[in-house]
Amino acid sequence: MSIRRFWSTPKTLGDVNMVTEELKNLYYKRLLPIEKYYSFHHFHSPSYEDADFDSKPMVLVMGQYSTGKTTFIRYLIEEDFPGSRVGPEPTTDCFTALMYGEKTQTIPGNALTVDPKMPFRNLDPFGNSFLNRFQCVQMPNQVLESISIVDTPGILTAAKRKLSRGYDFPAVLRWFAERVDRIILLFDAHKLDFSDELTRAFGALYGYEDKLRVVLNKADRVDSQQLMRAYGALMWSLGKVFRTPEILRVYIGSFWSEPRLMCDHYQLIELEEEDLLADVRNLPRNAVVRKLNDLVKRARLVRAHAHIISYLKQEMPTIFCKESKKHNLIYQLPVIFNKIQQQHRVPAGDFPDCTKMQEKLLGQDFSKFKTLKPSLMASLDKLLTTDVAKLVPLLQLQEKKKKSLPSVLDGEFLGTFRREHFRQDPFKEIIKDDESSEMDFDEWAVEKYKPKYDEIFYNLSPRDGKLSGTKVKEWMTTTLLPNSVLAHIWRLADVDKDGMLDNEEFALAAHLIEGKLEGHWLPKELPSHLVPPSKQPNTPSDASI
Ligand SMILES: Nc1ncnc2c1ncn2[C@@H]1O[C@H](COP(=O)(O)OP(=O)(O)OP(=O)(O)O)[C@@H](O)[C@H]1O
Ligand SMILES: [Ca+2]
């Protein structure tokens, strides 16, 4: 795809910025003072900073070890990234944030937390053992121009987890879950497994179910009967840990750029892939709405928190028995939650997890807590009612503008061929037995294989010397390569962009497919020695200098 090509263009940026600026303004003016006043950051989550509002939409990829997280990311960004390792055993032991950068570089966790331009400053409290396992890889990748992606260490089964990680893994996941736009949770259809660490990690996602997309990966490795069983088991287990399993969308697929195994549900996999990629593609468009949602969610939690803290303060005796009263209050917290709900009409869903709150309260001196400050609460109510409502027309305006943009999807080759695939490796690898080719324009690298490709070409009965997209697609899909890869090959091969292939272009397509099946990378753009002779620009002699 170059996935990027389907994302909003900078034309809408003005409005996006307007809404973002307004969100920042609301946060700093209305929310932050209350957060500070009631020590919200200590209990729940660090304060937002500019970078939290300004950063690109982020996708968190998580799941049990070896479910194909790193492979999935490589597939999304259509190239390999520094430090990535793929293998059957637990391989990734780092959180890696993949972000756009002019040049490829790796920034270690400790440096990231001091960079105000990065949205990672307040990861600091997770300590050194985490920061040593956190890094950012910047690279000039087209997909990363629109989104950032976070690769996470695989979640281990109890048997594999001999050593603890040395940092609060679920808490780190929660930190990311709060800030990202999408959480992609991978399962292996072949080896479905629910460990205790996994269940604990789910706790970290509590309240962010709306961002979650579940993937049942490697679905081509099992037959339909096994797939049905795996799907059923997955839904059952998810139902036990999530409050609203029915809204969870599960995508069945095999997300990598290798040929798939032929199976009864092959077509389903293609459709699901299309759906999930469309979802990811739409993230930049929905990013502002997501930020608004998260701000509202946070404001509601802040409101509940302010009521809890001030209630506790009010119940504390001034002089005697402070400790015993404190313990009593902590014990009664569920009842207190109930009271606040009724007295102040705070919805039950706005409250934090009671057990976690009890744990946090243990170490606190309640007498230092603050009482309810009406002016702050009024400001918060204003945020939740009028201020947010004022932003809606801005969002709609933005929505309208988007629709008027010419859809880049138009004119794209065939419905399902929306993605193309490119890799960074030097293309000469593909023509490995052509080492002698010293960029000689007279010699087309595909020429010597052309007769065998011609045979296929003429067998497909071209009309007026050309094959239509539909016919070529039919033939291409017999290779079982994912559509994303085939669409990229199509883009490279249809040199004159007329939506059809002549015999030279077809030979080129077939040559690229063969190279891919042999395990070589595809080039991003067509190198000149692969451009068919009839499509070569005019002879070099009249090229201007
Ligand atoms: N769609 C797929 N179909 C079949 N095999 C796959 C698929 N995706 C990945 N694999 C294989 O599964 C193994 C694990 O892949 P990968 O290392 O990407 O997983 P991971 O979730 O990142 O693992 P870890 O948690 O250990 O980092 C690799 O051997 C990889 O080749
Ligand atoms: Ca990995």
pLDDT tens digits along 86-116: 877 777 788 999 999 999 999 999 999 888 8
What residue's CA is closest to ligand 1, atom 1?
A: 254
Handedness of CA 395, 401, 404, 406 (dihedral sign): negative
Per-residue pLDDT, 20: 85
Per-residue pLDDT, 246: 66
| 500, β-bridge pairs | 468
Same domain, 223 and 367: no
3-state DSSP call for residue 344? helix
Tokens 């794209």 appear where?
Answer: 412
3-state DSSP call for residue 183? strand
Same domain, 117 and 217: yes
Same domain, 294 and 276: no
For residue 311, the enclosing domain spans 9-37+286-410
Per-residue pLDDT, 398: 64
CATH number at residue 444: 1.10.238.10
> Does any domain span residue 418?
no
Tell me the pLDDT tens digit for each residue of 463-477: 999 998 888 988 888
Task: Judge if the beta carbon of residue 86 lies within 6 A of ligand 1.
Answer: yes
Residue 1 has pLDDT above 60, yes or no: no
**Measured in angstroms, how far is the CA atom of residue 43 from the centroid of ligand 2?**
31
Task: Judge if the beta carbon of residue 202 lies within 6 A of ligand 1.
Answer: no
Task: Judge if the beta carbon of residue 126 lies within 6 A of ligand 1.
Answer: no
Domain end point (choices 353, 379, 410):
410
Task: Judge if the beta carbon of residue 91 lies within 6 A of ligand 1.
Answer: yes
Residues 113 and 123: their CA atoms lie apart, in Å, by 7
- Out of 71, 75, 485, mutate this one to test ligand 1's pocket (max ligand atoms within 8 Å of CB): namely 71
Same domain, 322 and 357: yes
Same domain, 381 and 332: yes
Same domain, 125 and 264: yes
**Measured in angstroms, how far is the CA atom of residue 443 from the centroid of ligand 1?**
40
3-state DSSP call for residue 138? strand
What residue's CA is closest to ligand 1, atom 30?
A: 87
Q: Binning pLDDT at 50, 70 and 90, where does residue 287 land?
A: confident
More confident position, 241 or 403: 241
Same domain, 321 and 377: yes
| 149, β-bridge pairs | 59, 98
Same domain, 64 and 199: yes
> Does any domain span residue 2?
no
Minimum-distance ligand 1 atom for the alpha carbon of 93: 27
CB-CB contact of 434 with 527 (8 Å)? no
Ligand with smallest separation from the Cα of 83? 2
Same domain, 302 and 434: no
Per-residue pLDDT, 410: 25
Residues 439 and 436: their CA atoms lie apart, in Å, by 9
**Measured in angstroms, how far is the CA atom of residue 174 from the centroid of ligand 2?**
19
**Measured in angstroms, how far is the CA atom of residue 128 from the centroid of ligand 1?**
28
> Does any domain span residue 43?
no
Per-residue pLDDT, 159: 54
- Out of 64, 77, 86, 222, mutate this one to test ligand 1's pocket (max ligand atoms within 8 Å of CB): namely 86
Q: What percent of the chain has pLDDT over 70?
A: 85
Per-residue pLDDT, 62: 93
Q: What is the mean pLDDT of residues 339-352?
A: 91
Q: Binning pLDDT at 50, 70 and 90, where does residue 34 land?
A: very high
Minimum-distance ligand 1 atom for the alpha carbon of 155: 25
Per-residue pLDDT, 442: 64
**Measured in angstroms, how far is the CA atom of residue 61 from the centroid of ligand 2?**
10
Residues 545 and 70: their CA atoms lie apart, in Å, by 45
Per-residue pLDDT, 520: 74
Task: Judge if the beta carbon of residue 69 lies within 6 A of ligand 1.
Answer: yes
CATH number at residue 176: 3.40.50.300
> Does any domain span residue 522?
yes
> Does any domain span residue 543?
no
**Measured in angstroms, how far is the CA atom of residue 283 from the centroid of ligand 2?**
23
Per-residue pLDDT, 170: 85
Task: Judge if the beta carbon of residue 66 lies within 6 A of ligand 1.
Answer: yes
More confident position, 112 or 199: 112
CB-CB contact of 307 with 344 (8 Å)? yes
CATH number at residue 31: 1.10.268.20
More confident position, 203 or 369: 369
Same domain, 388 and 496: no
Task: Judge if the beta carbon of residue 255 lies within 6 A of ligand 1.
Answer: yes
Per-residue pLDDT, 434: 41
Residue 54 has pLDDT above 90, yes or no: no
Q: What is the mean pLDDT of residues 33-59?
A: 90
Same domain, 62 and 32: no
Same domain, 271 and 297: no
Task: Judge if the beta carbon of residue 83 lies within 6 A of ligand 1.
Answer: no
Residue 209 has pLDDT above 90, yes or no: no
What residue's CA is closest to ligand 1, atom 5?
A: 218
Tell me the pLDDT tens digit for each residue of 135-188: 999 999 888 888 899 999 988 765 555 556 788 888 899 899 988 999 999 999
DSSP assignments along 60-121, one per residue: EEEEBTTSSHHHHHHHHHTS--TT----SS----SEEEEEE-SS-EEEEHHHHTT-TTSTTG
Ligand with smallest separation from the Cα of 185? 1
Domain end point (choices 246, 281, 316):
281
In this prediction the ipTM stands at 0.97
Tokens of 297: 């969610």
Per-residue pLDDT, 7: 37
Task: Judge if the beta carbon of residue 71 lies within 6 A of ligand 1.
Answer: yes
CB-CB contact of 250 with 231 (8 Å)? yes
Residue 252, judged by CB atoms within 10 A of its CB (0-12, 13-18, 19+), counts as buried
Q: Which amino acid is at 305?
A: H
Residue 337 has pLDDT above 80, yes or no: yes
Pick the range with the lowest mean pLDDT from 189-198, 216-225, 247-256, 347-356: 189-198
> Does any domain span residue 90?
yes
Ligand with smallest separation from the Cα of 86? 1
Q: Binning pLDDT at 50, 70 and 90, where does residue 226 land?
A: very high
Q: Closest Cα to residue 444, out of 539, 516, 525, 536?
A: 536
Per-residue pLDDT, 335: 95
Domain end point (choices 281, 306, 341):
281
What residue's CA is closest to ligand 1, atom 27?
A: 92
Per-residue pLDDT, 5: 34
Q: What percent of the chain has pLDDT over 90?
A: 33
The domain total for the chain is 3
Question: What is the average pLDDT value for the chain, to the nearest integer?
Answer: 81
> Does any domain span residue 49?
no
> Does any domain span residue 229?
yes
Q: Binning pLDDT at 50, 70 and 90, where does residue 437 land?
A: very low
